[in-house]
Structure 1
């Protein structure tokens, strides 16, 4: 039973049914053949080919030194046997993990096909407009499932690497991208539940002057940011009934609206072989879609259709005529939020307090 719209019904059978190891292997080979070989793949093989012989040199030197010891005839076999056992253990665990990863890709691919979705195991530098897709380097999306019918919904994982000098950190996210019927202002709902004492968990921060307080007690769940001048539009889009739906179903997600896409961000674990997780994800998306479908009626009052009033018509003569229609879209001012300084000032203030707490007692002596 495949679903025409996620959340109504879906077929979880491919996630749990027994699989044939031969079919999993064939699926992996087909996927491997379809993936173009990159310069990075060649570099990896060259580096490995060089490391193996050079890695044997210290091992040979170690056993040479051990053999010269009085107890060498006993120590050498023991150490050699221990190294062999450790190597076999590591290789077996790696092979099990590799087989597990291949089986997951096979199951997700069949699950997507059974539920009117497409599956991509790996996408380099995805062209999505969300904030997590334009940061860092080595950007890769994995296990992306996308609905075939419109409005499209995509579920997947994304990772990128941020380098600071010689150090590098890999950040991993899970995301849901929901296609909207029209472009909307850039709005971010920063979930309070996953923030820390140092501030937001999001990779980007926004200026405090763009913060908009929500009605009721919704500020307990989200911090809303919208472009300056779009406060009324944000309150229209996030009316109390829509905010209640987000608080009930998506309070654990960070939310971003950018262009014509609604993003839900969380930790990795979106594309999984757990049927209960997919039931929850589909239910969340369906619940949100039933509310945000009304956003297609929104129009940016800052946009006027150029053809509505002839270019040579004086403004005075247009008074009393029907107002020109506003086309879908967003004025330039509302397309992107202005970024802030992040947690720099919080960290600086914290370090200042620590320094004062350290030096003040010394000054009092």
Structure 2
């Protein structure tokens, strides 16, 4: 059955005072106050380490430039230039502590009203979600946030998800967004993973009994499919050409796992759930699963070009990270150039 959401709440004006009050009431009611304080303390610690580490690296780079241009190494100019290099990073982090909470509260304000308008339940956070996909069996500190659940006409659950893994002695924070839909028919267990090296994979892996199942054409170059050997024919029967085309259009930046009668769509980064494009994506996913339940013959995606553009922007993590990268690299380049000029003219 097609699903269409009332999305007016996602673009409605936000009353900041009401949003703040409701958010504080929610975290108290759901017992998340301690977790919020721990998260803030951890974020502050990360900022201190990041700025201090960046300052040390910047100072070392400045010293190297000074030595290369005939200077004597570490001096007052080294400290001043290094401090100026990391200043934009420090300012950006401090500013995020002022604007970040407001943005979160505004999103919760909108999601609360969106959930009410569409018959969804909404929970701010859920620790260690009990879900059967491989993603939820790895790492620690597992938390689903902004958990939205629909009971009908097709049960589904969406949320952002964070967890941590360890590499040697280094803790690696990881994130994802998932949408899980119940299938109306028995489907073979399978894992479909994006093949592009630009799409950073998470720490989870296909089930041990699953082996690669090759596909040709654009689908085979976009995804790698894994399943048990005995399920190969059933998997090919599900992944018809129309289904392949829809998967390329909707999930080419992520993964799909079918397990226990549920279809998990996994984005490899956290998405903004209060974005209209996210719920348009969920509508398209529901339509695709409906079509698979009906035999996978008529599977299509929206022909609206604006909708496709919004979906691409939703998944384009590189676009959102460019200002941060430029904001860090540009001061470093200017600082090193300044170090070279100051050293050259002082000798």
TM-score tier by shorter-chain length is: 0.5 to 0.7
Higher relative contact order (CA 8 A, sep 6+): 2
Q: In structure 2, what is the Cα distance between the partners aligned to 1:141 and 1:209? A: 27
Partner residue, 1:22: 17
- Deviation of 1:295 (Å): 6.3
Q: Secondary structure at the match of 1:181?
A: coil
Partner residue, 1:234: 235
Q: 1:94 to 1:87 in 2, by over 3 A?
A: same
Q: In structure 1, what is the Cα distance between the partners aligned to 2:252 and 2:231? A: 23
Quote the RMSD (CA, aligned, Å).
3.4
- Is there any run of 5+ residues in structure 1 with no aligned partner, and where? 52-85, 297-365
Are the counterparts in 2 of residues 194 and 252 from structure 1 also a CA contact under 8 Å? Answer: no
Matched positions, count = 250
Q: In structure 1, what is the Cα distance between the partners aligned to 2:123 and 2:152? A: 16
- Deviation of 1:262 (Å): 0.6
Are the counterparts in 2 of residues 156 and 270 from structure 1 also a CA contact under 8 Å? Answer: no
- Deviation of 1:241 (Å): 3.0
- Deviation of 1:131 (Å): 1.5
Q: In structure 2, what is the Cα distance between the partners aligned to 1:90 and 1:219? A: 42
Q: 1:176 to 1:210 in 2, by over 3 A?
A: same
Deviation digits for residues 230-269 of structure 1 (CA, Å, limit 9, x no counterpart) = 1111112222332233233332331110111111111334
Partner residue, 1:159: 162
Partner residue, 2:178: 175
Within 5 Å, which residues of 2 pair with 1:121-200? 121-193=124-196
- Deviation of 1:152 (Å): 1.2
Q: In structure 2, what is the Cα distance between the partners aligned to 1:5 and 1:171? A: 33
Q: 1:165 to 1:88 in 2, by over 3 A?
A: closer
**Structure 2-normalised TM-score?**
0.62
Q: Secondary structure at the match of 1:172?
A: strand
Q: In structure 1, what is the Cα distance between the partners aligned to 2:31 and 2:172? A: 27
Partner residue, 1:294: 294
Deviation digits for residues 178-220 of structure 1 (CA, Å, limit 9, x no counterpart) = 1112453320111223567xx9656215679711122554212
Deviation digits for residues 301-333 of structure 1 (CA, Å, limit 9, x no counterpart) = xxxxxxxxxxxxxxxxxxxxxxxxxxxxxxxxx
Deviation digits for residues 15-35 of structure 1 (CA, Å, limit 9, x no counterpart) = 222122232123113212212
Q: 1:245 to 1:276 in 2, by over 3 A?
A: closer
Partner residue, 1:214: 215
Partner residue, 2:284: 284
- Is there any run of 5+ residues in structure 2 with no aligned partner, and where? 46-88, 297-347
Q: In structure 1, what is the Cα distance between the partners aligned to 2:94 and 2:186? A: 50
Q: 1:267 to 1:179 in 2, by over 3 A?
A: same
Are the counterparts in 2 of residues 181 and 295 from structure 1 also a CA contact under 8 Å? Answer: no
Q: Secondary structure at the match of 1:178?
A: strand
Are the counterparts in 2 of residues 176 and 264 from structure 1 also a CA contact under 8 Å? Answer: yes
